[in-house]
Each structure stands twice: as C-alpha cells, then as structure tokens.
Amino acid sequence: MDEDAPITDINVTPLVDVSLVLVIIFMAVAPFVLQAGIKVLHSKGSKVSTGKAAIAENVLIKMTAKGQILVNNQKTGIEELPRVVNHALNKSRDKMVIIQAEEKNRVGEVVEVMDLSKQAGAKKLALMKE
C-alpha cells in the first residue's frame, strides 16, 4: 500500500465495543427499574376521627421535625424503637402502628421507622401528617 494514500476504511470496532458495553449496563440496571415500591392509599377525607378504643389499641409513633420519636407519647430513641414498639404491640389486638410525621421529616427517617415497626411485629402500618 502507498503510505500517502488516504484511509478509506471505517473502523467500527470501537463503535461495537461501546454498543456492547451499553447493552450490558442496561441489562444490569433493568431489574432495579422494575422493583415494586410501597403501595399507598390516599385518604379522601380532610380529618380522621378515631374512637377511644382505636387509640388505646393501636401504637402511635410521632416523629417531630427535631428528630424526636415518641411512642404512645413516651420519648424513645431510634435504637430502642423495636423493643418499645414490640412491647406496645403485645397489648394491641390488630397489631397496627400509626406513624405521624411532620412535613419536615425526611422520607428516609420515616421509612426507617416503618421498617423497624414491621420488624417489631406490626401487621398494619398507617401514615399521618400533622
């Protein structure tokens, strides 16, 4: 071949390499996109009225904007939460936990309290905002 002749061939090897890498990345990420989330039923009512029996039976966890956690109006820490909730659920008939969070609470904190409540034995979870 003549060294001064222009290159007329197109090298497609780098294009194929990049395409295969993208296919592998999409195959690895696809299962995470299809994961199910938490099913949330939105209440249409403006205020919820609860009877005295329901309040006494259910476990109420209040989360303040300052990061405090109150279980049935008794202050507790995040590390003691499973033990305290489990003790309170033993008195509950339907094993329901109501989590009342303020708008300034982070979603991660609320989800952590939900997870710990489920691990402590809660069968039902309800979310309320102040």
- pLDDT, one tens digit per residue, over 29-75 is 888 776 655 666 666 655 555 555 455 678 999 998 888 999 998 99
- Overall average pLDDT of the 3-30 stretch: 90
106 belongs to a structural domain: yes
- Overall average pLDDT of the 79-100 stretch: 89
**How many Cα neighbours within 13 Å face the side chain of 50?**
12
102 belongs to a structural domain: yes
31 belongs to a structural domain: no
7 belongs to a structural domain: no
116 belongs to a structural domain: yes
Longest dimension (CA), the chain: 96
16 belongs to a structural domain: no
68 belongs to a structural domain: yes
Whether the model clears a pTM of 0.75, i.e. scores above it, the answer is no
The CATH number linked to 92 is 3.30.420.270
Domain ranges, residue 120: 53-129
Task: Count how many domains the chain has.
Answer: 1
